[in-house]
Amino acid sequence: MKFQPKASHFINGEYVEDTSGAPIDVIYPATGEVIARLHSATPAIVDQALNSAKAAQAEWAAMSGTERGRVLRRAADIMRERNRELSIIETHDTGKPLQETLVADATSGADALEYFGGMAASLTGEHIPLGGGDFVYTIREALGVCVGIGAWNYPTQIACWKGAPALACGNTMVFKPSETTPLSALQVAEILIEAGAPKGVYNVIQGYGDVGASLVTDARVAKVSLTGSVPTGRKVYAAAADGMKHVTMELGGKSPMIVFADADIENAVSGAILGNFYSSGQVCSNGTRVFVQKGIKEAFLKRLSERLATAKIGDPLDEEVNFGPMVSENQMNIALGYVEKGKSEGARLVYGGERIEGDGFYMQPTVFADVTDDMAIAREEIFGPVMSVLDFETEEEVLARANDTEFGLAAGVFTNDVTRAHRIVAGFEAGTCYINTYNLAPVEAPFGGSKMSGVGRENSKLAINHFSEMKTVYVSMNDVEAPY
Ligand code: NDP
C-alpha cells in the first residue's frame, strides 16, 4: 500500500507493531482507496507507550532549556526541509488540497516547534521579596507525562501544537491521532528522534476512542490535551477530573461572523470564504453563522456566489485545486444531512448543496440565505462546507444573537468603523476574535475557546502555563517565631 508506515505505533524511539489490535484502514478521501492499514493499540501497547514516556521524562526535564530548545528547533528545520513530502502524506490522510497542506500543516507544526524551541531556554520561575529579608522563589516544573488526543482535520498541526509546548517545558508525550488520520503524527515522532530527542520523549499510538479513554484515566498521566468535539470533550474532561489531571480542551464551535453595511464587501466575502470553505469547511473556528446587515445582503450573496463559482474542485494533488473532498464518507454524509435539514427548515439554498458524484467524498461548497436563529443549521456544528447567512438590522441586536450559542470558540466582525469594531469584539463571548479578517492562527497568538468550546489556550506564551506548574519555595532569613 502506498503510504504504509513501518508500523502502527512509535514508542521509545522506534516503530512498534501489534497486529492483534483492531485494524484501522486509512482511506484516501479523493478516491476511496485504502492507502495503509494500521492497528489500534492493545492494552500492552498503551502500557508500553506510557512506560516509555514515564521513563524518559526525568532525563528530558533535567536537560537545560537550551538543549531541549535546540532539539525542537532542529525538528522544525527538518519539517520545513521535508514540507512537500509531509504535505503529500497529509493530503492523502485528510483529502485537503496540496495547495493548502503545503502552507498550513507541516509549516504550522514547524512554527510551533520553532517558537516553543526558542522559548525553552527562558522558562523560569520568579523571585518575590517579602521584606525583613525573607523571600519566595518559584520553580517552574514540568507536569510529567502528557497525553495529546487529536482530531482529523489538522493532524500534523495538532501533533505539534500539543507536543512542542509540552516538550519545551520538560514533559514527555503520548499522542493519539484520530483513527481517521493516523499517518502524520508518526512522521512528527520520527523527526523529533532525528533531531536528537531522547527515546521515549514523544510517542505515538493509534486507536479509536477507547484507546484515548484508557490514556486519560491512567495514573501515570499528569495532563490531557484534547482537540475534538464537545461531546468527546465532556467525557474526557470528566474522566480526567477523577484523577485531578490538568486539561486543555480545544473543542467545537458555531462561530459568528458579522458583516456591517459599511464593510469592504470584497474583504468580507474573502473572510466568509476562508471561514467556511477552507479545508472543505472542516475547521473548528469557522464562522459558519454569517450575519449580514440588511441593505448589502443581496450584493454580498451575489459576489459570494460569483467567487465560489471560480473555486477549483478536484484532485487534491493538483496544486491548482483549492477545494478538495471531505475527510470521510461519514463526514460528507453528516454535512449533506444538514443540507437537507436546511432545506426542510425553509432556508433558501443559494449555492451548491449537492454531492459531487464519483468515488471520492466530495460535496459542493454550500450557502444558505434567510437562515433564522432557531434552525439546526444555525445552531449545530456541521463541520463541513455549509454556510448560513442570517439578516440583521442593528448592532445591539446582532451582538445578542451572535452570542446566543453554547459555543464560544471564535467570532469575527467586518466593518470600517473602528470604534464599532472594538465595541463588538469587547462584547463577543468567544476566545478568538477577528476584526476585518478571519481564521488566522499564528503560533504567537493564544488560540482557544470559551463557554462549551474549551478550557485553556494553545500557542503563545500562555501555552507554557498549561504545560508546567509552579513550585513555591519560602525562604526564611530570620529566626522562626512560634506562639509557645
Ligand atoms: P471527536 O471528538 O470525535 O474525536 C477527537 C479525538 O478524541 C479522536 O482522536 C477520538 O478518537 C478521541 N476520542 C473519542 N472518544 C474518546 C474518549 N471517550 N476518550 C478519549 N478520547 C476519545 O472529534 P473529531 O475527530 O470528529 O474532530 C472534529 C471535532 O474537533 C469538531 O467538533 C471540531 O470542532 C473539533 N476541533 C476543534 C479544534 C479546536 O482547536 N478547538 C480544532 C479542530 C477540531 P477516534 O477518532 O478514534 O474516535
* Residues 206-250: tens digit of each pLDDT: 999 999 999 999 999 999 999 999 999 999 999 999 999 999 999
- Number of Cβ within 10 Å of residue 425's Cβ equals 15
% of the chain exceeding 70 in pLDDT: 100
Q: Which amino acid is at 159?
A: A
- Cell 454531492, located at residue: 355
Query: Is 407 in contact with 451 (CB distance < 8 Å)?
Result: yes
For atom 23 of ligand 1, the residue with the nearest CA is 228
- Number of Cβ within 10 Å of residue 242's Cβ equals 9
Residue from 250, 254, 297, 395 carrying the catalytic annotation: 250
**Alpha-carbon gap, residue 120 to 170, rounded angstroms:** 9
24-74: pLDDT as tens digits:
999 999 999 999 999 999 999 999 999 999 999 999 999 999 999 999 999
Judge whether 397 counts as a catalytic residue.
Answer: no
* CB neighbour list of residue 70: distance below 8 Å, 6 or more residues apart: 117, 196
Judge whether 458 counts as a catalytic residue.
Answer: yes
Judge whether 162 counts as a catalytic residue.
Answer: yes
As a whole number, the mean pLDDT across the chain is 98
Q: What is the pLDDT of residue 22?
A: 97
**Alpha-carbon gap, residue 295 to 414, rounded angstroms:** 15
pLDDT at residue 1 is higher than 90: no
The per-type count for the chain, helices as H runs and strands as E runs, is 16, 22
Beta strands in 210-351 (DSSP E): 221-227, 246-250, 256-259, 289-293, 348-351
For atom 31 of ligand 1, the residue with the nearest CA is 229
**Alpha-carbon gap, residue 145 to 124, rounded angstroms:** 20
Residue from 190, 284, 381, 395 carrying the catalytic annotation: 284
Ligand 1, pocket-test mutation among 38, 147, 232, most atoms within 8 A of CB: 232
Q: For residue 145, list its beta bridge partners.
A: 172, 221
For atom 19 of ligand 1, the residue with the nearest CA is 213
pLDDT at residue 2 is higher than 90: no
For atom 43 of ligand 1, the residue with the nearest CA is 284
Cα of 152 from ligand 1 centre, angstroms: 7
Cα of 46 from ligand 1 centre, angstroms: 19
Confidence band (pLDDT; 50, 70, 90) for 126? Answer: very high
For atom 38 of ligand 1, the residue with the nearest CA is 284
Q: What is the pLDDT of residue 304?
A: 98
- Number of Cβ within 10 Å of residue 346's Cβ equals 11
What the block records as the C-alpha cell of 381 is 456544528
Q: What is the pLDDT of residue 223?
A: 98
User: Strand pairing of 289-293 and 256-259?
Assistant: parallel
Query: Is 41 in contact with 21 (CB distance < 8 Å)?
Result: yes
Ligand 1 surroundings by CB, under 6 angstroms: 149-153, 176, 178-179, 208-209, 212-213, 216, 226-229, 232, 235-236, 250-253, 284, 381, 383, 409, 449, 454
Ligand 1, pocket-test mutation among 175, 184, 227, most atoms within 8 A of CB: 227
- Residue 138 in 3-state DSSP? strand
Confidence band (pLDDT; 50, 70, 90) for 193? Answer: very high
Q: What is the pLDDT of residue 143?
A: 98
Judge whether 250 counts as a catalytic residue.
Answer: yes
Q: What is the pLDDT of residue 35?
A: 98
315-342: pLDDT as tens digits:
999 999 999 999 999 999 999 999 999 9
Q: Is this model's pTM higher than 0.95 or not?
A: yes
Find the angle CA(192)-CA(193)-CA(198) to the nearest 5 degrees: 110
- The arithmetic mean of pLDDT across residues 371-396, rounded, is 98
What the block records as the C-alpha cell of 286 is 469557522
For atom 14 of ligand 1, the residue with the nearest CA is 209
- The arithmetic mean of pLDDT across residues 376-381, rounded, is 98
Q: Which amino acid is at 190?
A: E
